[in-house]
A and B are shown apart, each in its own frame.
Chain A
């Protein structure tokens, strides 16, 4: 077959190129793994080397307790779950309404949902700060949850709208005939059928909150309230940084978000872009 010979000829060079690209692009992670197992004396040695002399596994224990990583993790989990929860309760009714009802202003809402995904939170960060001062939301979990929800809600609503709209109306009509109320169909039919979409939306909200740095930087001053990103940033000192602690913390903070990301990666890509192509 023509196709197979064509493929075969390129297989090996492509494999090598891919390997080279991977080595190049994953470089910072190799550095992370090398650094996180070094002792504090080994960090500042010239010339630097890759393999630690003795594997300093106690870095993990130290960073968790002494360096407050435990507290940063807890805060990130609280803010992440809060953002996820708030997203779900606001987005479900909204997305359902847009997908299933005809009403005046529907297309305006769709346009705004799309447009709002384009805005950087930095644009409103100074006024949001003023509002948070007045509502006494600085240094609170609620403040971070609200801020993160504002900037995830448009995408999650958009995503759920897509899922709801793709469910055939007949399924709902059948349920209505069987005596299900509108709310009943939403809860018993629509949400279970759109469950994969809902999971994607939830994980997206959680990840975005987990990765937030800007809101934490702007609204959190008290160390006991700092989420991971800002907490780890505290390791960066004015004169010197404890890179072995920073890299251990980075490693631990990246694991959950990588796992979650891989769960929704396919839906995320299509939600972000290829959905746009079918239109």
Chain B
């Protein structure tokens, strides 16, 4: 290429490209190529080994979208995400408010609150499976001995309770992140604001709604957006607790993709759902990136 003809590529830029090569190569082979491959799979008939047979255009999409389960699973993905994120936000806020008060043992409490997030998700999901055990689980025993109920539900055995049980575990994992982020936000709010509000006789609730909440609005927004993505993508909790059962009642898109591919060997169906999920996440993340880079001078 002749120097300075279209765009002068300086020695520095060549150096940058050289430094980026390993990372770019890596992403191309193990991220972009697989994405292209999944898109191909969704447009081809595949055999039980996942090998492309013949091109069928959008036939796979039409077939999958005619199935009722596809829509049930997609709908459930959104219900799952929205419900979980709302509860995570509310509980995270309550914990952050608690930890924002200077009581004895606050530092220890903060550490203990983090444990569910710090723990390995697959392992805590297995623990929860035991906690939920209908006959021998200590959760039901505790409910009975506290006199809350004499007939505790079969947590993972009925469609509705299984869904609630799974979503609770996902919420339980996600609360600490929310709490920590909100707490960090609250601690960056100027103390003077609260003091002058106190002078004006504003009560605690007033301070929360007129000072705290507006000050950390943006933090709440980013945290809920991130949390929505993680919740939408959750695989471990559902797969380990119920494998999507009973009777598919706890399947969301992510688990349905996995099961279609690895358990039922319907690779094209899995690919179609993967492409749909990919598009949904793409919209999500473009939105996130836009917010992130808004007015950022680093670019």
Cβ 8 A contact of A122, one of B223, B258, B296: B258
Q: Closest approach, in angstroms, between the C-beta of A129 and any C-beta of chain B? A: 7
Contact B177 A18 (CB under 8 A): no
Cβ proximity bits B263-299 to A, threshold 8 Å, 1 near / 0 not: 0000100110010011001101110110111111011
Contact A126 B271 (CB under 8 A): yes
Cβ proximity bits B1-28 to A, threshold 8 Å, 1 near / 0 not: 0000001010011011101101110110
Cβ 8 A contact of B112, one of A22, A47, A50, A147: A22
Residues of A within 8 A of B122 (CB): 211, 213, 229, 232-233
Which residue of chain A has the shortest Cβ distance to B261 in the bound complex? A126
Contact A123 B274 (CB under 8 A): yes
Which residue of chain A has the shortest Cβ distance to B298 in the bound complex? A165
Given contacts A44-B136, A213-B122, contact A124 B31 (CB under 8 A): yes
Residues of B within 8 A of A262 (CB): 111, 114, 118
Given contacts A114-B288, A119-B281, contact A125 B31 (CB under 8 A): no
Which residue of chain A has the shortest Cβ distance to B278 in the bound complex? A123
Contact A232 B181 (CB under 8 A): no
A91 close to B (CB within 8 Å): yes
Which residue of chain B has the shortest Cβ distance to A149 in the bound complex? B26
A3 close to B (CB within 8 Å): yes
B167 close to A (CB within 8 Å): no
Residues of B within 8 A of A217 (CB): 239
Residues of B within 8 A of A126 (CB): 38, 41, 50, 257, 261-262, 267, 270-271, 274
Residues of A within 8 A of B136 (CB): 43-46, 48
Contact B198 A273 (CB under 8 A): no
Given contacts A126-B261, A273-B181, contact A21 B127 (CB under 8 A): no
**Among the listed stretches A169-177, A188-196, A241-249, which one makes contact with chain B, having 4 or more residues with CB under 8 Å of it?**
A241-249
Query: In the complex, A127→B23 CA distance in Å?
Result: 20
B195 close to A (CB within 8 Å): yes
Give the B-binding residues of A (Cβ under 8 A). 2-3, 6-7, 10-12, 14-15, 17-18, 21-22, 25-32, 34-35, 43-50, 89-91, 93-94, 96-98, 101-104, 106-107, 109-112, 114-120, 122-131, 146-147, 149-150, 153-154, 157, 165, 182, 210-211, 213-214, 217-218, 228-229, 232-233, 235-236, 241, 243, 246-247, 250, 253-254, 257-258, 261-262, 265, 269-270, 272-274, 276-277, 279
Residues of A within 8 A of B98 (CB): 14, 17-18, 21
B209 close to A (CB within 8 Å): no
Query: In the complex, A261→B177 CA distance in Å?
Result: 13
Contact A15 B293 (CB under 8 A): no
Contact A130 B109 (CB under 8 A): no
Residues of A within 8 A of B240 (CB): 213, 233, 236
B82 close to A (CB within 8 Å): no
Contact B281 A123 (CB under 8 A): yes
Contact B38 A3 (CB under 8 A): no
Q: Closest approach, in angstroms, between the C-beta of B5 and any C-beta of chain A? A: 14
Tell me how many residue pairs across A and B have CB atoms closer than 8 Å: 308
Q: Closest approach, in angstroms, between the C-beta of B202 and any C-beta of chain A? A: 10
B137 close to A (CB within 8 Å): yes
Of the A-B pairs whose beta carbons lie under 8 Å apart in the complex, a sample of 27, sorted by A's number, is A15-B103, A17-B94, A18-B109, A28-B124, A29-B115, A35-B130, A47-B141, A47-B144, A48-B137, A98-B16, A102-B12, A104-B7, A118-B284, A119-B233, A120-B277, A123-B274, A125-B262, A126-B257, A127-B33, A131-B37, A146-B30, A147-B30, A149-B26, A150-B26, A232-B123, A253-B123, A258-B118
Q: Closest approach, in angstroms, between the C-beta of B143 and any C-beta of chain A? A: 11
Contact A90 B229 (CB under 8 A): no
Contact A101 B12 (CB under 8 A): yes
Residues of B within 8 A of A7 (CB): 101-102
Query: In the complex, A180→B50 CA distance in Å?
Result: 53
Query: In the complex, A138→B239 CA distance in Å?
Result: 21
Cβ proximity bits B114-155 to A, threshold 8 Å, 1 near / 0 not: 111011111110111111000111110110100000000000
Query: In the complex, A82→B31 CA distance in Å?
Result: 19
Residues of B within 8 A of A232 (CB): 122-123, 126
Contact A125 B258 (CB under 8 A): yes
- List 5 additional A-B contacts (Cβ < 8 Å) besides A6-B194, A6-B198, A150-B27: A122-B257, A149-B26, A182-B15, A229-B120, A236-B129
